[in-house]
Amino acid sequence: YAMLLSLIFLIVLVAAVVGFVFRHEIKTNFESNLNLALRDYNVTADRHSEAVDTIQRTLHCCGVQNYSDWERTEYFSQRGIPRSCCKSQDDCSEEDLKDLSKAKLKVFVD
């Protein structure tokens, strides 16, 4: 039993060290993939779009850096910022989401 716990501890320790050493590469790769997901958001309503919505709702964030990242997407030109960015679903209209200055007050900005 002690051997198994030691092995698990060693695996976790190695994973932590590798994560720390490659943290910049991991962050860059994550941001790059998230930017691609934003660019292709809701083009086919696929699992990537669902993942973006889940990330934004769960982490209370919007876009990669902030909500203005959506301005450069095809989705924004048609429908504005996604509803998954809204702080409150009840107080977030489609009109608000199409105007960045209004959206700033309604979506997650930090």
User: For residue 67, which of 42, 40, 97 has the smallest C-alpha distance?
Assistant: 97
Given this model, what pLDDT does residue 47 score?
87
pLDDT digits (tens, 9 = 90+) for 20-79: 999 999 999 999 999 999 999 986 668 889 999 999 999 999 999 999 999 999 999 999
Question: 76-85 long-range contacts, Cβ below 8 Å, gap at least 24?
Answer: 79/42, 81/107, 82/41, 82/42, 82/52, 82/53, 82/56, 84/52, 84/53, 84/54, 84/56, 84/57, 85/56, 85/61
Q: Which sequence spans correspond to the domains of the chain?
A: 2-106
